[in-house]
């Protein structure tokens, strides 16, 4: 397929369709049908036939690169052909009858720009004939259209037809990962490995980073089977160690990574071991591992930065700064390193030093927008509000962009009044129409923080007029309804989300918790939270909700069990308040007081903790 840049249309090149320059028209249907078909499609068939004279047309250099995925597929196919595994049709087979008509219609559809029709016809013929040339043609069209589901179906047929094809299994892996079908991807990785290929197992850890624990455990089962067959594959072992860590099987993770380290040390293995130890809450051991390796490999930038990050998280700012400065000596113009040093200075309350670093970043054009964002904060602390406003306005991207919009609105409110600050959001919606909803969400948050709940809900309702099924807007409306104490708004918005997405775990949990907390509809709350937990069984917020539901049902032991688990997974003041209340009501008052005391260490100003404590032990 080539691209006509002037007309913005795609032309199909029928490579790999007709083999040995032959088209056989089999007289299976009456002459009138043949005459009608050729009368109607004569010129298209003529063009198609002439184009077919070159069986392996090459794209002009200036027409390549339209679609990276397709270019990659074509390159892979060419490489495969060079290795002697040419994907060609059965030479004894010719297309006839319905198959021939489908192929001709596909080419005509392609010339007319109806690529979906072309794909549908090619897939039909691929399924019915199992011709490898047609399969590849159909697969390439599916890739061009980014139809991953169709491409996966075709790749599976390809692999069934040619089970020893490394290319076919690689394509199944690629498409199934894109579709989130991780078990399918791993199964094909297993097949590819058995064929002598080198699948990238480690990509699974990236693709599944945000997936729930139960899915990761399922994949681990297959990985363990593979390790039994291929015990010396480092990529496979590193992947298994990462997954063990992600499902909190830290001892197994360390066993695997230590075995790998005995074979030889390298930065990837050292980094993984340090991260496993950090996850296991053995931070000092993680530091020792990193320092030990860095003694002999002092220029290993990635590990220097990792050690600096660990020290920063421990609030050991001076040692963290020393590591970042060592890293900066290796890469003096690295904006990320300079930004880290500026943030450490800000954490230490040294605005003057931070300002010098940030101004240096701006002079050298390094992470400029991030630099302006933090400089603006310094100007605010100096009470130079006009200068702060100018700096925030220069942040047009980066991680501080949306936060800058909120600060701009707040500063305008201070300098000019609320109406002017609201005008800012209106202007931004006009300036960035594709991001209109984001600015509406931001304005609603801005207004709700000022207890202007009606105005906030009005902003969201304006967006919902044109986007009635926008989950994000509906969820924000529910939250604001809850803040305003307007339960009817909260319930209606969450119910609407569940009509659109019945398995939306966050909406299920939010509605269930609210019903338990604000009403006596406890059984309904139990059912909603149970469903949320079935979707995300390890989410501490959901576990807390189930504990609270059991508390409301007066199932105190079950409540304590759930709430204890939730607090072990997430140190949170609200969970501590709930657990303390359940303990107190079960007669375990000293334990309740200890939980509340420890909770206040997390947040000394926690209103929910103080309310819980005063409810049972008023001063």
Mind listing the pLDDT tens digit for each residue in 33-62?
Answer: 333 333 344 334 333 332 333 223 333 333
Which two three-digit tokens encode residue 88? 């060609």
pLDDT tens for residues 378-408?
A: 999 999 999 999 999 999 988 899 999 999 9
Whether 532 contacts 505, CB under 8 Å:
yes
Whole-number CA gyration radius for the chain: 31
Helix (H, G, I), strand (E, B) or coil at 11: strand
Q: Is 368 in contact with 336 (CB distance < 8 Å)?
A: no
Per-residue model confidence as pLDDT tens digits over 600-617: 888 888 888 888 888 887
Residue 512 has pLDDT above 90, yes or no: yes
Give residue 294's pLDDT. 96
- C-alpha–C-alpha distance, residues 4 and 19, integer Å: 26
The residue written with tokens 């304006």 in the block is: 462
Q: Is 9 helix (H, G, I), strand (E, B) or coil?
A: strand
With a CB cutoff of 8 Å and minimum separation 6, the contacts of 285 are 277
DSSP state of 15: T
How many angstroms separate the CA atoms of 114 and 318, rounded? 63
Residue 156 has pLDDT above 90, yes or no: yes
Among residues 290, 268, 265, 267, the alpha carbon closest in space to that of 278 is found at 290
Q: Is the pLDDT of residue 548 over 60?
A: yes
Domain ranges of the chain: 1-192, 520-619
Length of the chain: 619
Measure the CA–CA gap between 599 and 574, rounded to whole angstroms: 8
83-108 in b/e form (b: 16+ CB < 10 A) is: eebebebeeeebbeeebbbbbbbbbb
Tokens of 229: 């067959």
Q: What is the pTM of this model?
A: 0.72
Q: Domain 1-192 class? A: mainly alpha
Q: Say if residues 102 and 121 touch (Cβ distance below 8 Å).
A: yes
Query: CB-based contacts of 79: which residues, under 8 Å, 6+ apart?
Result: none
Burial of 554 (0-12, 13-18, 19+ CB in 10 A): exposed
* 520-619 CATH fold: 1.25.40
Would you state the pLDDT for residue 14? 37
% of the chain residues with pLDDT over 90 = 63
Predicted local distance difference test score (pLDDT) of residue 96: 66
pLDDT for position 87: 35
Average pLDDT over residues 262-288: 95
Please list, in sequence order, all residues whose beta carbon lies within 8 angstroms of the beta carbon of residue 533, skipping any fewer than 6 positions away: 539, 542, 543, 546
CB-based burial label for 561 (10 Å; 0-12, 13-18, 19+): middle
Are 1-192 and 520-619 equal in CATH topology?
A: yes
Among residues of the chain, what percentage have pLDDT more than 70? Answer: 84
Tens digit of pLDDT for each residue in 101-148? 888 888 888 888 888 988 888 888 888 888 888 888 889 889 889 999
Alpha helices in 364-435, H assignment, sequence order: 368-381, 385-393, 401-416, 418-431
End-to-end CA distance of the chain: 79
Q: How far apart are CA 565 and CA 82, in angstroms?
A: 58
Give the relative orientation of helices 385-393 and 368-381 as an angle to the nearest 10 degrees.
160
Residue with tokens 């529910």: 478
Mean pLDDT along residues 487-496: 97
Rounded distance, CA 159 to CA 87, Å?
Answer: 12
Residue 21 has pLDDT above 50, yes or no: no
Q: For residue range 62-75, what is the model confidence (pLDDT) as tens digits?
A: 333 323 333 333 34
CA pair distance 241, 239, nearest whole angstrom: 5
| Residue 405, token pair as written in the block | 């919009």
In 3D space, the residue among 310, 357, 359, 362 whose CA is nearest the CA of residue 337 turns out to be 357
Res 471: pLDDT:
96
From residue 291, give the alpha-carbon distance in Å to each of 294, 303, 524: 5, 9, 54
Determine the Cα–Cα distance for residues 504 and 465; give it in Å rounded to an integer.
22
Mean per-residue pLDDT, 233-247: 93
In this prediction, residue 132 carries a pLDDT of 87
Which of 543, 565, 534 has its CA nearest to residue 214?
Answer: 534
Which H, E and C letters describe 314-351, residue by residue? Answer: CCCHHHHHHHHHHHHHHCCCCHHHHHHHHHHHHHCCCH
């Amino acid at each position: 397929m080539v691209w006509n840049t002037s007309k913005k249309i795609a032309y199909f090149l029928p490579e790999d369709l007709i083999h040995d320059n032959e088209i056989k028209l089999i007289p299976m249907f009456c002459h009138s049908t043949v005459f009608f078909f050729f009368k109607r499609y004569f010129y298209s068939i003529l063009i198609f036939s002439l184009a077919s004279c070159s069986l392996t047309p090459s794209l002009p250099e200036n027409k390549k690169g339209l679609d990276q995925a397709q270019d990659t597929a074509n390159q892979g196919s060419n490489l495969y052909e060079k290795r002697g595994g040419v994907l060609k049709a059965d030479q004894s087979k010719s297309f006839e009858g319905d198959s021939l008509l489908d192929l001709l219609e596909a080419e005509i559809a392609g010339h007319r720009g109806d690529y979906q029709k072309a794909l549908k016809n090619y897939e039909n013929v691929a399924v019915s004939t199992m011709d490898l040339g047609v399969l590849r043609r159909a697969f390439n069209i599916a890739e061009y259209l980014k139809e991953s589901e169709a491409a996966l179906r075709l790749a599976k047929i390809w692999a069934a037809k040619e089970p020893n094809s490394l290319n076919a299994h690689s394509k199944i892996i690629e498409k199934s990962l894109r579709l989130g079908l991780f078990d399918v991807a791993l199964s094909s990785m297993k097949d590819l490995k058995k064929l002598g290929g080198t699948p990238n197992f480690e990509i699974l850890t990236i693709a599944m980073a945000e997936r729930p624990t139960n899915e990761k455990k399922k994949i681990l089962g297959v990985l363990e089977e593979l390790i039994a067959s291929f015990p010396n594959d480092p990529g496979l072992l590193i992947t298994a160690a990462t997954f063990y860590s992600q499902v909190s099987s830290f001892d197994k993770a360390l066993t695997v990574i230590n075995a790998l380290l005995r074979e030889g040390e390298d930065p990837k293995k050292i980094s993984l071991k340090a991260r496993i130890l950090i996850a296991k809450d053995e931070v000092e051991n993680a530091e020792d591992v990193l320092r030990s390796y860095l003694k002999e490999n002092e220029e290993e930038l990635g590990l220097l930065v990792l050690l600096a990050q660990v020290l920063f998280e421990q609030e050991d700012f001076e040692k963290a700064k020393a590591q970042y400065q060592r890293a900066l000596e290796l890469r003096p113009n690295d904006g990320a390193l300079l930004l880290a040093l500026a943030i450490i200075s800000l954490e230490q309350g040294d605005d003057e030093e931070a300002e010098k670093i940030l101004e240096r970043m701006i002079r050298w054009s390094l992470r400029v927008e991030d630099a302006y964002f933090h400089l603006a904060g310094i100007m605010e602390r100096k009470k130079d509000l006009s200068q702060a406003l100018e700096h925030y306005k220069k942040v047009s991207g980066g991680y501080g962009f949306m936060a800058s919009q909120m600060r701009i609105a707040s500063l305008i409110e201070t300098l000019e009044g609320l109406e002017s600050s609201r005008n800012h959001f209106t202007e931004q919606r006009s300036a960035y129409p594709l991001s209109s909803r984001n600015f509406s969400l931001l304005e609603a948050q801005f207004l709700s923080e000022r207890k202007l709940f009606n105005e906030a809900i009005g902003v969201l309702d304006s967006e919902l007029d044109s986007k009635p099924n926008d989950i994000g807007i509906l969820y924000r409306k529910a939250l604001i309804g809850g803040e305003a104490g307007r339960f009817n708004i909260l319930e209606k918005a969450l119910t609407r989300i569940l009509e659109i997405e019945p398995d939306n775990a966050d909406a299920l949990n939010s509605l269930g918790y609210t019903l338990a907390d604000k009403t006596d509809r406890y059984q309904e709350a139990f059912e909603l939270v149970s469903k949320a937990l079935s979707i995300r069984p390890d989410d501490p917020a959901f576990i807390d909700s189930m504990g609270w539901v059991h508390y409301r049902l007066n199932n105190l032991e079950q409540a304590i069990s759930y709430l204890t688990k939730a607090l072990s997974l997430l140190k949170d003041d609200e969970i501590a308040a709930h657990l303390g209340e359940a303990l107190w009501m079960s007669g375990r008052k000293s334990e309740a007081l200890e939980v509340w005391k420890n909770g206040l260490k997390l947040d000394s100003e926690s209103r929910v903790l103080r309310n819980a404590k005063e409810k049972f032990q008023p001063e």
